[in-house]
Structure 1
């Protein structure tokens, strides 16, 4: 049974002396983590939302067999692609890992900004909102205005309505879509928020800010290696597992592009180029997020180990 969340001020419940390494894809995060793990006898913990899926080793650039022999790695490839694995799911796995390996030093490494934010700041898990629900409430906001939606919210969820301004359309819509999807007030979801798992005072924070031209070259070279090492075969295995097309595993970069090859819709050369472009665009979004969202405690380093 899940234990009640402890207060974030309870230092005994937090992971102490952790190292957090964030950065865009192909920036050398894993190599840096491996070097530090060998030096400090630490455990490397995955903080990448795509590297959790068991089928996708090559296409998500999970650590190879040599790396796994050099240092213990946790939370890599432990989830079925048929599962909608969330930030909340990952936090639960981290908490269980910390309890089972108490006293070990952990190095969290990855490119998923929300994972790092949840580790350090805590996390309120929310239900996944179907597109049709989200689109309908946003259409109503545009057509009817926030005051009309606020009256609906006041009838359905008066507690939340009292704390939201009638003009705050975005938050009103969010409350309504959560209520419709889950049958539960957004206030109840927020009350169940998970506290931080990291002791901020003893942690070391590193974020890689790579040189852009060199990063692009590394991205392109790496995807070529992925294809050589079996990325197409991995996508074949993923499709054989028949996950719902909406599952996060189906959104890993390269899956859609190589699926086109398997379905004879595009050539392999075209798919490779499209996947490289998508990866470059994703790396830019990652870099922007880390630059704007991570605070001054994060040491900025150039990367490319």
Structure 2
């Protein structure tokens, strides 16, 4: 039997509002871990309240890499994340810590571990033309066009996911091939880390939905709309940027544009967050090699202790 000598890493995954950050911090108190965020909203500076970003005191005690690393006017891709995450993991390893990657962005976890296909680089002029066409006929129509040529991508990408529809159409226009064809031909190398996957997977969505609603209401009370007003005042942001399309921010931006009432904004924000959690849970169930814990039925810390102690072959501090 060949000995696996790859360095160790831990993935801590789960839907929004499942308690990932609290568990990661608790584990960091007990093991020599270096925390790395896997969250497509936390990378952006100024997206604090609506992204449920850990507060300054938490980040001071438990530093997270890949938080507040990008201006919201500048999109951040899965490829950007993979490059940054691999560098962060190497830094933590060199410092004598085991990298613990914590978050709920499945696309980032998948890109990190499985790699990315060799796709053509973005073409700003082409993107602008696709965006202008979307403004004229709608993203749903462009999704239908994309799905007619690439049904696999059409089934995977939601009709409202403007960023991924735009990228799929861009790839087809630049390469003459579909996104699926290029992804399937990509050669993936073995991931250079041995990974323990932990997943917080609530079985009762009623309890998760209640926590989502409570947290969204707390965000509003904390000044979420004021935060979005400050972002709007920067003058260089718009509704089609990935940062502003983040769950909660899109609904707040539209409300401040005069769409709907305050109650409607609240309801739409909670609904969008629940839909995000549903997608995250669906993805997590495909991670068959993950050790899952239901945070509503058991304290995940003791079970995680057992898993980490065996994986790291280190005692609890």
Tell me what 1:69 maps to: 60
Question: Is the CA contact (8 Å cut-off) linking 1:258 and 1:268 kept in structure 2?
Answer: no
Task: Specify whether residues 196 and 229 from structure 1 end up closer, same or farther in structure 2 by C-alpha distance, changes over 3 A only.
Answer: farther
Tell me by how many angstroms 1:172 deviates.
11
Tell me what 1:243 maps to: 237
Question: Is the CA contact (8 Å cut-off) linking 2:239 and 2:250 kept in structure 1?
Answer: no
Question: Is the CA contact (8 Å cut-off) linking 1:24 and 1:286 kept in structure 2?
Answer: yes
Tell me what 1:37 maps to: 28
Tell me by how many angstroms 1:140 deviates.
9.2
Tell me by how many angstroms 1:51 deviates.
1.4
Tell me what 2:273 maps to: 279
Question: Is the CA contact (8 Å cut-off) linking 2:117 and 2:182 kept in structure 1?
Answer: no
Deviations 1:72-127 (Å, cap 9, x if unpaired)?
Answer: 21101211111111000001111222343423211111111111112222222645
Tell me what 2:213 maps to: 220
SS at match of 1:250: coil
Tell me by how many angstroms 1:238 deviates.
2.0
Residue 295 of structure 2, aligned match among 268, 290, 303 = 303
Tell me what 1:231 maps to: 224
Question: Is the CA contact (8 Å cut-off) linking 2:201 and 2:292 kept in structure 1?
Answer: yes
SS at match of 1:18: strand
Q: Give the paired residue count.
A: 264
Tell me by how many angstroms 1:34 deviates.
0.8
Residue 253 of structure 2, aligned match among 235, 256, 259 = 259
Deviations 1:136-165 (Å, cap 9, x if unpaired)?
Answer: 7964995xxx7xxxxxxxxxxxxxxxxxxx
Task: Specify whether residues 197 and 171 from structure 1 end up closer, same or farther in structure 2 by C-alpha distance, changes over 3 A only.
Answer: same
Task: Specify whether residues 46 and 125 from structure 1 end up closer, same or farther in structure 2 by C-alpha distance, changes over 3 A only.
Answer: farther
Tell me what 2:15 maps to: 24
Inter-partner Cα distance in structure 2 for 1:230 and 1:113: 28
Aligned: 1:115 with 2:115: no
Structure 2 regions of 5+ residues with no counterpart? 155-166, 300-317
Cα RMSD after superposing both structures? 3.4
Tell me by how many angstroms 1:185 deviates.
9.8
Deviations 1:195-230 (Å, cap 9, x if unpaired)?
Answer: 565523xx2111111121110110011011111222
Aligned: 1:206 with 2:206: no
Question: Is the CA contact (8 Å cut-off) linking 1:21 and 1:206 kept in structure 2?
Answer: yes
TM-score w.r.t. length of structure 1: 0.74
Structure 1 regions of 5+ residues with no counterpart? 1-10, 147-168
SS at match of 2:70: coil
Tell me by how many angstroms 1:68 deviates.
1.3
